[in-house]
Amino acid sequence: MRLTTKGRYAVTAMLDLAIHFDKGPISLAGISERQEISLSYLEQLFTKLRRKGLVKSTRGPGGGYSLSRSAYDIAIADIITAVDEKVDTTRCGGLGNCQGDERCLTHELWTSLSDQIYSFLAGISLGQLTARKEVQERAQKQTTNVQKVKPDTEQNEESGLDTTSPGA
């Protein structure tokens, strides 16, 4: 299976969306800040996620993205296949032409591994993840961290430079 940072970023971003579901559309700029993912890269990922029907978008000021259905109806496998195209560990892409026209010695091994991974990721939903305690705690922390770095909305750049710095 193709498991790269692309898939990881996509899942992280979708989880951010699921966590802030109650706050209306979530801007990519916000996700970018909280999860430290480049905005342009997020745009690419969300184009795919939208085309696969996992999210819907709202344009204009106050706009952003939201989940197209319940977080409990979106499996991690859905997200990864949406951005990574295929979940497959074989060389031949499951076609069985790994060695000339024939299957290679280990063809069946990789197909059953692929099945295994897919089942695992298909069995976990975004909703389940949001319910986990460590996820909630970390999400809380991320929100306050971002607020600390950007006190208001970067209107006056020197506002944070007091003598009593929050420091350590």
Partner DNA sequence: TAATAACTTAGTAAATTACTCGGGTAATGC
Partner DNA sequence: GCATTACCCGAGTAATTTACTAAGTTATTA
Interacting residues toward DNA by CB under 7 A: 2, 4-6, 9, 25-29, 37-41, 43-44, 46-47, 50, 57-65
23 binds a copy of itself (CB under 8 A): no
Asked if 62 and 25 touch (Cβ cutoff 8 Å), the reply is yes
Question: Pick from 40, 61, 62, 134: which binds a copy of itself (CB under 8 A)?
Answer: 134
Asked if 146 and 36 touch (Cβ cutoff 8 Å), the reply is no
First-to-last alpha carbon distance for the chain, in angstroms, is 43
For residue 26, the cross-strand partners are 65
Q: How far is the CB of 19 from a copy of itself (least distance, A)?
A: 8
Residue 121 binding: pick among a copy of itself, DNA, none (C-beta 5-8 Å cut-off by kind): a copy of itself
Q: What is the dihedral of CA 68, 71, 76, 81, to 10 degrees?
A: -10
120 binds a copy of itself (CB under 8 A): yes
97 binds a copy of itself (CB under 8 A): no
Q: Name the residue nearer to a copy of itself (CB basis): 63 or 96.
A: 96
Q: Name the residue nearer to a copy of itself (CB basis): 25 or 107.
A: 107
For residue 75, the cross-strand partners are 125
Q: What is the dihedral of CA 56, 60, 62, 68, to 10 degrees?
A: -10
